[in-house]
Amino acid sequence: MSEAKLREALCAQAASLFARGLTGGASGNISARCEDGGLLVSPTGASFGSLDPGRLAKFDASGRQVSGDRPTKEMPLHAAFYETRGTAGAVVHLHSTHSVALSMLPETDPENMLPPLTAYSIMRLGKVQLLPYFRPGDPAMGDAVRGLAGRRSAVVLANHGPVVAAKDLEAAVYAMEELEETAKLALLLRGANPRMLSEAQIRDVVTTFDVEWD
C-alpha cells in the first residue's frame, strides 16, 4: 500500500473506532508500518474522530521523525512492539472501557486475562498479558513489552488500556475490537459460572489456526 493510501486508511480506521465508542476524546493512539520501513503515528492530543492524514507523524526506518506533528507520548509502546515482533505492521492502543475494567479486577489472571469464552478471541489475540500500571508516557511501558520477548501480540496495561500489534492495520483493529468485546462478555458473565471452552477445544483452535499460545 502506498504511503498516501496508508495515511488515509489509518485515519479511516481510527475514525471508525471513535464513531463506535471504542475510544473517546483525545485518547488512544495508532501507528502503521510503511513500505519503506518507516512509521506513521497519530499525533499527541489528537482525537481519533478527526485525524488529518497530512499531519500524522512520520518516522524513517532508523526511528528519526522526518515530518508531521509531535507523535503520541505512548511511542515507547509502539516502538517496543515493532522491535520485538518482526511481523508487526500496525499497533493500536485504546483506553476502551471494558478492557480497562477487567484489568482492575483482582481475580483477573495476569498471564491470560481473557477467559476462553469464544474461539475468536483465541484466534485473533492468543493469550493477552496483563501488565502493571504505568504512568502514561512512561518509557517503562516499552521495557515491559520488551520483557515479553515478542511472545504476546496483545497486552493490557492495568488501569490504562489495551495494546494490540498485528500484521497490518486492518488486522490490528479487528483484534482490538475482539479484545474489547471479549472483555465485555467476561464482565457480563461475571459470577454466572459460564460454560467456557474446554482445554481440548482451545487446543483445537490453537492448532487449526496456528495461534501463538504457549
Per the annotation, the verdict on 120 as an active-site residue is: yes
User: Catalytic residue among 82, 83, 107, 120, which?
Assistant: 120
Per the annotation, the verdict on 170 as an active-site residue is: no
Report helix, strand or coil for 99.
Answer: helix
The one-letter amino acid code at 138 reads D
Report helix, strand or coil for 157.
Answer: strand
Neighbours of 182 (CB within 10 A): 25
Host H or E run for residue 31: strand 29-33
User: Catalytic residue among 3, 8, 35, 74, which?
Assistant: 74
> How far from each other are the two terminal CA atoms of the chain, in whole angstroms?
33
Neighbours of 118 (CB within 10 A): 17
The residue to which cell 465508542 is assigned: 21
Tell me which residue of 86, 89, 72, 85 sits closest to 161, measured CA to CA. Answer: 72
Enumerate residues 6+ apart whose C-beta is below 8 A from 81: 88, 91, 145, 163, 165
Q: Give the residue numbers marked as catalytic.
A: 74, 120
